[in-house]
Each structure stands twice: as C-alpha cells, then as structure tokens.
Structure 1
C-alpha cells in the first residue's frame, strides 16, 4: 500500500503527516459559501423591499411596521436585540461572500499567471466586468444608509420615533443628490444580482443554450423587479406622491 504522493512507502517507524486543506477552503467549499451567503442576502433584499413599500400605506401604517421591527423577539429578547442579531448575521454574510469571491478570483488568476499572446476577446456581461467597483459602490451605500436611516446621523430629521418622516426628509427634492446616489447603488445591486443569479442557475444545470436563455431571462426579470421595488419609494417622495 502506498502512503505518500510520490509513491514511496515510508520507512519503518517514520510518521507521515499529510496537510489537507479544509473543505470550506476548497473551490467547492468556497462556492458553497458564496451560494449560502448570497441566498441570505437576496432574502434580506426582498424582505427589506416589501417593508419599504409599506410607505404607500400611509404614515401610521409605516411607523407601526418600523416600530414592530424593533419589538420582534419580545419579551424573550430585550430591546432591539433581534435587529442587532439580524445585522450581525448580514455583516457575516457580506464578509463571507466577499472573502469567498476574492479567494476564488485570486486562484483563477494564479492558475493562468502568464497572459496569452493572442487571446480572443471574451464577451462577458457588463456586470461581470464591473463586479469590483460595483462592490465598492454597494459598500459605500450600505455605510451611508446605516448612518442615514438607522442611526439618523446624516438624516435631516434623525428621529427614531418618526421613520416615515425620516424617509420623506431623506428624499426631498432639495436633496436630489441622495436620490441620485441611491439610484446608482440600487442599479449596481441589480447588475450584481443579475450576474450572480444567472451564474447560480447555470451551476444548477442550466448550461444548454435554451437553459442559459431561460436563466438569463429569469435573472434579468428578478433584478428589474427588485430594483423597481426599491426605486419607486425615493422617486415617489421626490415627485410628491409620498409626502
């Protein structure tokens, strides 16, 4: 029986220690991390979008929903612990998603250290070519969004007891630059989501020409619907539909 990778049996009394890579650090494990964290983030985006749309039900209903979020888990959990648990889980998911994507990208580049002298142009999607700077925009937006509507630091009202007023003040016409930045970030999320969902569907077996067309269409429709659900709120405030 052979014990070593070079097919030489160990001598009597020799102890052979083989260093193995953790399953989670393998390419398959990293892709699994990306899939799980991606699903978590998509579910949050959908739930958050549906919650935002309650602004169209009126100030009382929206404020009631916002305060209900703070009371989830009571009396088992004190105060706003549920929200902080959720935020912590989301931060872990984001870090895990970025870590897995970065390691996979570095390994892919290391597998081909020398560029081809004559290489045909690859027809990659716009999202695939801009994932890096898109991630930076999303990160900056998340930081601003927290300081704006979570802590109220950058919000004109900044009153935790008046969530509806915070949203209306945030996207007021004289703060058009906030709506512009919000739109840029949401569209970037849409491109990122479209690319990620398409890649996930292909990994699940949609690799025939017909399957790829279906996957591309499904990813595009989902991304457009999600973006529209987020953008309708700031533009409704900007145009006076919500005030």
Structure 2
C-alpha cells in the first residue's frame, strides 16, 4: 500500500530552504537598490530630495501617492517573516534530528557568521524597527519631517549624535555577517561543494558583504566627518 503525505511541499525541508533562498534574494536585491539610493546623498540636497519624492510617486497616476512604497514595505515584511519562519523551522528540525547531545564533542570548524546568525538576526530586526521610526516616519529623528529626507539624514548622523552612527555601524556589520553566510550557503546549494568551489563561494560571499557594508556605512561617516552637511 502506498502511503501519501498531505504535507505541503513548502513545509518540507527542501521547500523551506527554497523559501529562504527566494526571500533572501528579494531582500538582497532590496539592500542593493536601497544602498544605491542612499549614495545619492553625495549628489547634494536637491538631487537626494528629488529622488525621495520620486519614490513616493512611482506608479502614478495608476497608484495614489506613496502607495508604491507601502506595497513595497508590505512585500518586504512578508519576505522577512517568511525568511525568519523558514529558518526557525529548519533549526528546530535540525535539533530534533539529534536530541541527545554528545558528552564530548570535537568542536566543529565553522565561520563566525554562521555561529552568530541568531543574535545577528535580532540586531537586524531591532535596527529595522528603529530605522523606520527614525527616517521613515520621523518619530525619532531630530528634524522629524519625512518630506525633508536630506535634512533628516544630516541631522541623524551629526557629530553630537555619534551614538546613532555607532548603533548603525553595529547593525550594518551584523547585516554583513548575515549576508556573508547567506550568500555562501546559497552558492553551496547551487553546486559549489567541491573544495575549490567552496573557496570561490567564500570569496564571492565576502566581497558581496564587504561591498554592501561599505556602501551603507559611507553615508553616516560622511555626515559624521562633515563631508556631507
């Protein structure tokens, strides 16, 4: 007799890994696009404010003002929740597969990023909440006016608010570790499982993480040092 399972393919380990991969790609593409937009601050206040206003009018006249941004935020929220849920289920299944801990286990060599994915995810989540209240709604920003994005950025990372730059740096570094491990895992899943392939995957993952971290951190430190004012 053939026994069939009613479990959805998305609930299988393979399906959950696919969910993590797809949502991870969506989030990485957003990070790249957002970073490129942030770098427009170096083009000056007029250019940066014009870019921010353009984002609010995407889809017009089909979409009302700012609707595109809210649709994008909703999609990103769904991607983040799906990513976290899939990661949590996979981690629980991995623990359940080996319920008894070894009395003496030889330490397994692994990357620092892999060992810190959990607390890194918590830092990133807290940072996203603060970032929205700071530069999206203006609630925690000294200027507090969403219609003045350039002024918000300059006020946010001013020298007297060095602690904001420090917290931002910690969060971006956490993103970098998370991204490095995620890209490496994705490349291994795509077939880079030979020693040479793994070395290549590590280099690519490190390059992507460093590039994104540098692209995000250059803005607050430019404001902190007076290069952008």
Same fold (TM over 0.5): yes
What corresponds to 2:117 in structure 1? 131
Q: Distance in 1 between matches of 2:103 and 2:157?
A: 51
1:21 aligns with 2:21: no
Q: Distance in 1 between matches of 2:106 and 2:225?
A: 48
Work out which of the residue numbers 196, 204, 214 in structure 2 matches 1:218. 204
- Give deviations 1:110-167, integer Å, cap 9, x for gaps: 0000012232110111111111111110000000000000000000001122110000
What corresponds to 2:142 in structure 1? 156
Query: In the TM superposition, what is the alpha-carbon distance from 1:3 to its structure 2 partner?
Result: 4.0
Q: 1:123 and 1:3, CA in 2 relative to 1: closer, same or farther beyond 3 A?
A: closer
What corresponds to 2:224 in structure 1? 238
Work out which of the residue numbers 81, 90, 94 in structure 1 matches 2:76. 90
Q: Kindly report structure 1 stretches of 4+ aligned residues shifted beyond 6 Å.
A: none
1:47 aligns with 2:33: yes
Aligned partner of residue 206 in structure 1, secondary structure = coil
What corresponds to 1:110 in structure 2? 96
Q: Structure 2: which 5+ runs fail to align?
A: none
Q: Provide TM-score, normalisation by structure 1.
A: 0.93
Alignment coverage as a number of residue pairs: 229
Work out which of the residue numbers 73, 76, 94 in structure 1 matches 2:59. 73
- Give deviations 1:187-211, integer Å, cap 9, x for gaps: 0000000000000001111111111
Work out which of the residue numbers 158, 161, 167 in structure 2 matches 1:181. 167
1:166 aligns with 2:152: yes
Q: Distance in 2 between matches of 1:172 and 1:195?
A: 32
Query: In the TM superposition, what is the alpha-carbon distance from 1:89 to its structure 2 partner?
Result: 0.2
What corresponds to 1:9 in structure 2? none
Structure 1 or 2: larger helix share? 2
